[in-house]
Structure 1
Amino acid sequence: MSGPNHPKEKQREEALHALDRVEAESETIVGSTFVRMADRAKKHMSAADKDENDEIEVWGTRIGRGLGLVFAIGLVIYLAVTYL
């Protein structure tokens, strides 16, 4: 009775196919979001938004942003150690 033409089997196959499709689409969305965020952070830290002809401005921006990142990480560690 539970052959390939059984209505419940057909519903089961359709449901599994829909779940596979949702899983594939969600991986694409998450992956592309992560890649987009990583590219944005890379451009930000490398001072891609500054004039490339002015090396002092570019290196000053890179150093400032790097120190800001180090400070933020240190602050998070300090707060975690102090209050947790």
Structure 2
Amino acid sequence: MEAERRRAADAALAGVVRDGEVLGTSGFARTLRHAGERLGGHFAGADADPADPVEIWGRRISRGLALLAVLALIAHLVLTYGPR
């Protein structure tokens, strides 16, 4: 009986933590912050083997160049086919 009450109380507290909002932040802001952390880790090569600096820098350089290529393509398309 006591263990069941304890589990119910733990579940209720977990729900409050999950559903409660910190004063001044919204769910949207938390989502953006989490996405920013993931994006930063992606471009920093955080998923590479930490013992291999060549792999880390290779991922950083290639992802940076890919970002530049996408931005250049977007600029080209906007300038070529954008509103006149």
- Tell me the TM-score normalized by structure 1: 0.67
Task: State which of 27, 30, 33 in structure 1 corresponds to 2:28.
Answer: 30
Unmatched 5+ stretches in structure 2: 1-21
> Superposition pairs for residues 12-51 of structure 1, below 5 Å?
28-51=26-49
Q: SS of 2:47's equivalent? A: coil
Q: Distance in 1 between matches of 2:27 and 2:78?
A: 32
Q: Distance in 2 between matches of 1:64 and 1:32?
A: 29
Post-superposition offset of 1:50: 0.5
Matched-pair identity in %: 33
Q: SS of 1:77's equivalent? A: helix
> Superposition pairs for residues 1-84 of structure 1, below 5 Å?
28-84=26-82
Matched AA of 1:77: A
Number of aligned residues: 60
- Runs of 4+ more than 6 Å apart: none
Post-superposition offset of 1:29: 1.0
Question: What is the CA RMSD across the aligned residues, in angstroms?
Answer: 1.7
Unmatched 5+ stretches in structure 1: 1-23
Q: Distance in 1 between matches of 2:80 and 2:27?
A: 37
- Specify the structure having the higher radius of gyration (Cα): 1
Deviation string 1:17-74 (CA, Å, 9 cap, x unpaired) is: xxxxxxx99x511101110110010000000000011011100000000000000011
